Structure 1
Amino acid sequence: MNILVTTGTGAEYQFERLLNIIDELCEEKVINSQQLVVQSTDRYKAKNYEIKDMMPQNEFDEIMKKADLIITHAGTGTVTKALKYSKKVIMFPRRAMYNEHMDDHQLDLCELFCNLNYAILATDKNELTEAIKTIDNFVPERFVSQNIKINQIVKDFIEK
């Protein structure tokens, strides 16, 4: 299974918790590091995989299209793009209590997307491990961007 992990671009806040868990899951053979791409601007030094810094958008998009699973910090842009590509998504939000962000808006976003069955929420190693092991059984709802709906409403109005 090809996996893309992305932690976002927030250089002010590090997300070593997720990167460390990914390291442990590679070591435990839950994740095959040979089928893993991790994009992060964090200072974390991985033991079991290579971290790619920010890459050109077209390269990132190609990797995302080839991935079977996206594990992401809950950034809106990454999540909606993954869903538009019909990818299975595990959302692992940055948390204020770990000083990974200024507030818990990412958790709020996760709850919204997960309650609509677009993605799976994981907040710790056990939940992430279980989500990865059972991802084949997860059938997400088909995502339709609100932008597309708005564009269609405008188009329909103009054509009247």
Structure 2
Amino acid sequence: MRGLKKQRRIQVIALAVVALAISTALIGYAMRDGINFFRSPSEIAAAPPAPTELFRIGGLVEDGSVLRGQGTKVTFRVTDGGASIPVSYDGILPDLFEEGQGMVGQGRYIEGTFEAVEILAKHDETYMPAEVVDALKEQGVYRETDEGPAIN
């Protein structure tokens, strides 16, 4: 009788482990397209991603680089102080998008240009995404002042 209870307990535990493994695999499979990696312009310049990879780029919009084309087509350059990457976007930019300010774009790096499908801008005068701040600190161009963050 005692051996039967122990055997049943082991079977239940084994079944629970298998169910957990299957559910984890299904969740990972469902999320595979929802995970977007962040890269700074320096990382992209050093190791360009595949043209099929969807990822996010963040940095500062380079002063004097915004060119508006026909309709909603816009091109500009994004930098982190170490490298500068050209960005192409066809759509309506956020109201707070401007030169010298932080931005995050989502898209693909194709033939030397980041083709964005979404552009996000800062939401107030001191906000900058944590990934962008980290990348700028690595480059040595970010510093904190009494008035808020500043770029060297």
Relative to the length of structure 2, the TM-score reads 0.22
Of Structure 1 and Structure 2, the greater strand share is in 2
TM-score (ref. length: structure 1): 0.21
Name the structure, 1 or 2, with higher relative contact order (CA <8 Å, separation 6+): 1
Max Rg structure = 2
Is the helix fraction higher in 1 or 2? 1
